[in-house]
């Protein structure tokens, strides 16, 4: 049995962190679903930038959309939504079979709106309606300002993938925003069955510290942060507050492990997949990581309910001089800036390519 199937059988969903039109056209995504137990998909501006500007799959649509008078951003969303609708349809049988727990795809709002809650909600609602797929998440950053947008989007019935979470506190903020949105729906007499995932980025912790700690701590921080968040996630699901929502029909906001590609050239290429095998969670993987895990990965013991020895590991990093709270805040801020840059690069690349096509 392939390691990907074993991980799926453990209760963790395997999602692909990639999408291209070629992948849809040539059957690659369907093959990953059939052969590697992939049950969902995530996307981001960098992924679309590479897909749209390397190769020719989007050339005709790009030329037509931009010549029709659409802005570059609107043209991008037209092309991205077309792809994600096709992916959502491929995952629709899984979505139905799992009672809508799995089989999701994700589309990101403009990262430039990360600190503008009102506009984020407006755009999230418009994109969700335009995509017209029940198994599509709108990605909203879990910044302090983003939490307001998350709550409002959930209240409006928009399914949300909360992104840019880096530690337990960020996760708890996202969970609180999700539950507030659901509680408002219950008070308004609306169904609380609005789905969400909370995406915790793990590998960037180790990238930030690999040259600042001794060899015995190298590549240990990301898995420890993930295990700590997993304990918090399980605690939330067992809380009285969540149980009250579950009793009226709410479904859990699942914890999702993101940024799972190994950044350390000296480490295993499937480091985070094996380290963060956890029931009732999601792991979204870059394509090369998914293929590597399917080829030579292995599933060991799952992350313990109590996080195992994560607190001892985190304490060791603190003793080594790493300010975990500050680093978590810095990683979120840097991540938001990086997403801004990727978004600008994406729009610039589309503009440049459209000029070349003319």
Residue 182 near residue 250, CB atoms below 8 Å: yes
Q: What is the pLDDT of residue 353?
A: 83
Q: What is the CATH number of the domain that holds 150?
A: 3.20.20.70
Domain carrying residue 291: 3-357
Cα(276)–Cα(231) distance, rounded to whole angstroms?
A: 12
Model pLDDT, residue 46: 87
Given this model, what pLDDT does residue 23 score?
96
The string of DSSP letters for 117-166 reads HHHHHHHHHHHHHHH--TTEEEEEE-SHHHHHHHHHHHHTT--EEEEEE-
pLDDT by residue for the chain (358 residues), tens only, comes to: 899 999 999 999 999 999 999 999 999 999 999 999 999 999 988 898 888 888 889 989 998 998 898 999 999 999 999 999 999 999 999 999 999 999 999 999 998 887 888 999 999 999 999 999 999 999 999 998 899 999 999 999 999 999 999 999 999 999 999 999 999 999 999 999 999 999 999 999 999 999 999 999 999 999 999 999 999 999 999 999 999 999 999 999 999 999 999 999 999 999 999 999 999 999 999 999 999 999 999 998 999 999 999 999 999 999 999 999 999 999 999 999 998 999 999 999 898 887 777 6
Q: What tokens were used for 181?
A: 């949105």
Q: How many domains is the chain partitioned into structurally?
A: 1
- Which amino acids are annotated catalytic? 139
- The pLDDT score that the predictor gives to residue 164 is 95
Give the pTM: 0.96
Q: How far apart are CA 243 and CA 163, in angstroms?
A: 24
Q: How many residues are present in the chain?
A: 358
């Amino acid at each position: 049995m392939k390691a990907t199937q074993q991980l799926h059988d453990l209760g963790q969903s395997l999602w692909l962190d990639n999408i291209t039109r070629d992948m849809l056209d040539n059957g690659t995504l369907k093959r990953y679903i059939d052969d590697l137990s992939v049950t969902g998909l995530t996307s981001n501006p960098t992924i679309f930038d590479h897909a749209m500007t390397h190769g020719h799959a989007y050339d005709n649509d790009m030329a037509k959309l931009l010549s029709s008078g659409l802005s570059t951003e609107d043209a991008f969303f037209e092309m991205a939504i077309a792809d994600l609708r096709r992916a959502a349809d491929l995952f629709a049988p899984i979505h139905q079979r799992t009672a809508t727990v799995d089989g999701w795809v994700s589309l990101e709002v403009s990262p430039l709106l990360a600190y503008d809650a009102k506009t984020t909600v407006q755009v999230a609602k418009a994109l969700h309606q335009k995509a017209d797929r029940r198994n599509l998440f709108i990605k909203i950053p879990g910044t302090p300002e983003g939490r307001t947008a998350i709550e409002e989007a959930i209240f409006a019935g928009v399914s949300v993938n909360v992104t840019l979470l880096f530690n337990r506190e960020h996760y708890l903020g996202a969970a609180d925003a999700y539950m507030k949105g659901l509680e408002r729906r219950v008070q308004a007499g609306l169904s609380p069955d609005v789905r969400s995932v909370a995406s915790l980025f793990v590998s960037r912790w180790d990238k930030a510290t690999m040259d600042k700690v001794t060899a015995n701590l190298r590549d240990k921080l990301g898995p420890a942060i993930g295990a700590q968040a997993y304990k918090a996630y399980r605690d939330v699901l067992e809380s009285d507050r969540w149980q009250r929502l579950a009793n009226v029909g709410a479904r859990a906001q699942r914890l999702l492990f993101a940024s799972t590609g190994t950044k350390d050239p000296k480490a295993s290429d499937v480091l985070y997949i094996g380290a963060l095998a956890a029931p009732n969670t999601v792991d979204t993987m870059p394509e090369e990581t998914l293929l590597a895990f399917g080829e030579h990965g292995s599933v060991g013991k799952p992350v313990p309910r109590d996080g195992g020895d994560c607190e001892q590991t985190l304490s060791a990093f603190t003793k080594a001089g790493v300010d975990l709270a500050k680093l978590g805040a810095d990683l979120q801020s840097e991540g938001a800036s990086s997403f801004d840059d990727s978004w600008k690069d994406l729009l610039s690349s589309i503009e440049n390519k459209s000029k070349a096509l003319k």
